[in-house]
Chain A
Amino acid sequence: ELKVEQNPLFLSMQEGKNYTIYCNYSTTSDRLYWYRQDPGKSLESLFVLLSNGAVKQEGRLMASLDTKARLSTLHITAAVHDLSATYFCAVDNRNSGYALNFGKGTSLLVTP
């Protein structure tokens, strides 16, 4: 069974600070995704990472993938309040028809 673990599960950080969310997965996957979810809303796709060493950046968020270590990171630079949300990583695999396996999510609160 493919397992996806995120840490931390809860993160409170001050505006302007940097922090990293980690995502480990247990078996080979085809793609790794990062999503954002605001309370009561659907999932917003942030990044799709395909290959070892992939790095993508959008604004204050940067995601990377190390397929050998089965690890992805989501780095937050100079956090602002608008980044407060829950962030999920997920992986898929062609053997399971590309169904997504999600981590439990990281609930991020950015405070002044």
Chain B
Amino acid sequence: NAGVMQNPRHLVRRRGQEARLRCSPMKGHSHVYWYRQLPEEGLKFMVYLQKENIIDESGMPKERFSAEFPKEGPSILRIQQVVRGDSAAYFCASSQSGNEAFFGQGTRLTVV
């Protein structure tokens, strides 16, 4: 049973480009959480999704950020028109309903 898979592991984007981060949850998990970790800081919750539904996006910046978890395929975190301040590690975690969530290896986004 493969763990939570995130790709790419490292992503470099120029200012103004779009970044797409992918997360494939563990088999049997239908709940996905995205977190952002800025340098030298803890993780901050961004968004909680179930299949085809955004349950809680209270941690998402209001502009440029969006997330989806389609019926088929991975969850996607999309950042449009990236800025230097978006440089961070983005972690995805998945769980079965109400159970402990497991983390992926993260995507480290660098905006140049």
Q: Chain B nearest CB: distance from A46 CB in Å?
A: 12
Would you call A112 an interface residue if the criterion is a C-beta within 8 Å of the partner chain's C-beta atoms?
A: no
Contact of B45 among A42, A43, A99 (CB under 8 A): A99
Residues of B within 8 A of A102 (CB): 35, 42-44
Interface residues on A, range: 20 to 34
Main secondary structure on chain B at its contact with chain A?
strand
* Size bracket of the B interface: 20 to 34
Top 9 closest pairs, chain A to chain B, by CB: A102-B42, A104-B42, A102-B43, A99-B45, A42-B105, A43-B103, A97-B48, A105-B42, A99-B48
Chain A positions near chain B (C-beta within 8 angstroms)? 31, 33, 40-43, 45, 48, 88, 90, 94, 96-105
